[in-house]
Structure 1
Amino acid sequence: MMTDPEERLPKIQTCYGTLPSMLRKFDRFARRDYFRGHSAEEFEEWRKRERILLSELLGLEKMEVCDLNPVIMETKMLPEGIRREHIRIQTEPDVWMTMYLLVPADAGPNTRLFLCPPGHNGAGKYTVAGLAKYGAVQEKITQYQYDYGLQLARRGFAAVCPDCRGFGERREAKEDTQDPVLGLKGDCYWLAHMGEPLGIPVAGMLVWDLMRLIDYLELRGEWDMEHLGCLGFSGGGMQTLYLAALDERVQYAVISGYMYGFRDALLKLNRNCSCNYIPRLWEYLDMGDIASLIAPRPLVIQSCRQDRLNGPRGIVNAVEQVAVIEKAYRLCHAEKLPFHDICEGGHQWHGERLDKYLEYIGK
């Protein structure tokens, strides 16, 4: 039988997808642990329970403690007087975390410190630390204003720019690091396949590593750990959210490009990266509930009005979650400490707002 050479697949007129059913299930089963109380005392009890639950969902009880075994692999002085250390620590047996530490020339015991976890599509620490000599890295710095670690170091802060698992020097396959496209991306899909069947989602791996990074910085004892901040964009915002929610050693949090309701941003937009998906999380909490655990510590949330990750309803999806956060801060008598800054444009970090944020959180 002869076939049309251009007719390679059947012509399907209608696709009977699953999304409508899953949206109905979300509406039926999701967010059953949201805060229902009315007092600060009730909120504190709720927070204790939800932190235990969130730790379990992230698989943190399965993570393994080991010696940090830090190694400073290289130290380089940058033209601006910033010292850049290339460091490796061990966060679990057989798990190494690489990073750049940016230290201003006049840094001392009173110098404040920021963790700067990276997001996607930027080769990990290289964009955040501002290694603009590499063409592909420079393109992403320009596109997203991605060098927020360097931006902080230029303002006198020590900034730690780590590779999260699956990015930069922590890729699973070395050959992917040299591909012009793949080299900017990460291995979240493969990490999820390894971890989720064991009850360890990617987000749990990343949060654990950041907690161990704080342990390392405390061990060094060279800077002000009483005012530790964390700033992250996109996937770095995700890491900042979960870390600050669970670890009170983080005193200031700046979350850019990552505050949306799960239904619109991760269920309707269900082709987002695997690191966003934590088994069973949606049954209990939405993103605003998780951020409420940060109260009453200073919190800046930066949203972009045209960010496609807001979902089909746009910026209202972010505003709804911020309203949940603001309620928690009112209960903690810290009404002025959550700050939602809505910028124009698409998905990016707005570094030109950084000085305002630093002033806001008392820097």
Structure 2
Amino acid sequence: MKQIQLHWRRMARHGTIAIGVWMFALVTPAVGQKLDIAKERVIQSGRPDGRHVSTRGFQLHLLRNAKPKLAFNPEFTSEELEQWRAQVRAKLLELMNFPEPVPQPAPRKLWSQGRKGYVLEKWELYPEPGSVVPFLVLIPDNATPENPVPAIMCLPGSSGTKENLAGEPPLVAAFEPDDRNHDGWLHAERNQQAVQFARAGFVAVAVDHPGNGELSDLAMHRGSTMDDRSTLSRYLIDMGRNYIALSVFQKRQILNWLRTQPRVDGARVAVSGHSLGTEPLLVLAVLDPKIQGIVWNDYLAATIERAKVSSMPNQRGIRPTANWLGHCIPGLWEWFDYPDLVAAFAPRPLIVTEGGPTHSLNLVRKAYQIAGAAENVSIHYYPQYSDPGDRRDDKPIPEGLSATEWLEHANVNAAHHYFKAYLAIPWLTRHFQLPDPGEVYPPAPPEAVQKLRK
């Protein structure tokens, strides 16, 4: 027994040493040829034939020459736009590779509780064998079968939960949103989309992302709201599925159920996504033409362009990395990019609240013009970029950027990335012809008030 204990003590000591060596390597400059960061900002061949020895260089060659097969064409006629939208919808549905539907139990209500001005209900969805997806529904007091009201599904940012969307206490203490939380919830109150929409007169549905909040596994034991979603995403991809497709597969069923509820006006249903939530929103809105209001609360940019220009290495010779695997829809870039898909929303009402590179936004504007619905798209920038003279509207955006420089060229102020209720709620109530609810949401910050007055 003593020999076994001695063996494990040695193993532990060796493990501690190995971890120390690994951590030392992370903070110690790499040994080797001195790196000239300025020279290596832009990946160049250095060969007379222009070919790349490095695989990263070859991959950049592919990005530089990428021409998605179903990219939006600003020269479309209105008839061609309609045909293109149908092609985009069909191809995106193919890329989702949803599982074959299997009869499942109907959603079940778990409980109902009164709140000031609305009723909060908790439901369970059974989207496919082996899966349970809880969600919250907020129903305004004035919504009745005789007086059905518009409805909206609210999708949170990356670390958000349905409870925070609904302004409810977290399920466990580890999910508590505060400024100290390592998930970075600096704007927890502003991001309470669902309760703000409910107070404005909408039936609001609050959902979790896969692997988040109540759908997480052991996240609460790490003081986080999120699982290791890259691993989850990797396994889904290996099985022919993907993270966004799983999220959309679940949320489509909730939307279909929502339209059947007696206190909901099924002809006035919207979707609101913040940050990560804009990605399942993107797919939902393309696949479901019955969605009649779209709140895009993030900046909008071409993801191919971002990957192409983000190449500045750090001191250790590591270039900017890709987002975690949950953002991956295999095959997407072969066919279209995000601005193309948002252009496919036209002519349905759309608001973009955090701008982006103006050339990407202009594609969307053009699609709405071709559709004869220019008044249906409302685009806003972060306050500091609302004046054209303050924007970095380079076209194309230059290569050789760091992650921070990309955000600057994309007109993004990451510190003020939160749900812009002061823009989204008045806009959607006007489109759905609801009474002005007043300021049932946090007011616009001073810098935004000044810009709005202008």
TM-score relative to the length of structure 1? 0.85
C-alpha distance in 1 between matches for 2:261 and 2:154 = 18
1:127 corresponding residue in structure 2: 164
1:292 corresponding residue in structure 2: 343
Contact 2:295 / 2:424 at 8 angstroms: preserved in 1? no
C-alpha distance in 1 between matches for 2:429 and 2:255 = 24
Which of 275, 280, 285 matches 2:331? Answer: 280
TM-superposition CA deviations, 1:158-198 (whole Å, max 9, x none): 10001222111111x2x322432x2x224431331121123
C-alpha distance in 2 between matches for 1:295 and 1:68 = 35
Which of 369, 373, 383 matches 1:330? Answer: 369
Change (3 A) 1:323 1:298: same
1:349 corresponding residue in structure 2: 419
Which of 93, 109, 124 matches 2:129? Answer: 93
TM-superposition CA deviations, 1:45-67 (whole Å, max 9, x none): 1111111111111212x343432
The alignment status of 1:54 with 2:92, answered yes or no, reads yes
Which of 235, 238, 242 matches 2:279? Answer: 238
C-alpha distance in 2 between matches for 1:6 and 1:177 = 30
1:149 corresponding residue in structure 2: 194
Kindly report which structure 2 residues correspond to 1:27-176, keeping only aligned pairs within 5 A, or say none: 27-36=64-73, 38-60=76-98, 62-78=99-115, 80-109=116-145, 110-122=148-160, 124-132=161-169, 136-139=176-179, 140=185, 142-143=187-188, 145-171=190-216, 173=217, 175-176=218-219
- Secondary structure of the residue aligned to 1:72 is strand
C-alpha distance in 1 between matches for 2:421 and 2:114 = 24
**CA shift for structure 1 position 207:** 1.3
1:26 corresponding residue in structure 2: 63
Letter in 1 for 2:31: K
**CA shift for structure 1 position 258:** 4.6
Contact 1:303 / 1:343 at 8 angstroms: preserved in 2? yes
Identity %: 23
The alignment status of 1:212 with 2:253, answered yes or no, reads yes
Contact 2:177 / 2:188 at 8 angstroms: preserved in 1? no
**CA shift for structure 1 position 224:** 0.6
2:230 corresponding residue in structure 1: 189
C-alpha distance in 2 between matches for 1:13 and 1:168 = 46
TM-superposition CA deviations, 1:117-150 (whole Å, max 9, x none): 122112x212211125667225437357210111
Contact 1:116 / 1:162 at 8 angstroms: preserved in 2? yes
RMSD: 2.6
Change (3 A) 1:201 1:284: same
Name the one with the larger strand percent. 1
TM-superposition CA deviations, 1:83-141 (whole Å, max 9, x none): 1111111111212211111111221242110000122112x212211125667225437
C-alpha distance in 2 between matches for 1:91 and 1:129 = 22
Larger radius of gyration: 2
**CA shift for structure 1 position 281:** 0.7
**CA shift for structure 1 position 359:** 4.4
Aligned positions, number: 340
- Secondary structure of the residue aligned to 1:159 is strand
C-alpha distance in 1 between matches for 2:105 and 2:348 = 28
Letter in 2 for 1:22: Q
Letter in 2 for 1:11: V
Gapped runs of 5+ residues in structure 2?
1-19, 41-53, 180-184, 311-319, 384-412, 434-454
C-alpha distance in 1 between matches for 2:134 and 2:270 = 19
C-alpha distance in 1 between matches for 2:337 and 2:269 = 26
- Secondary structure of the residue aligned to 1:339 is strand
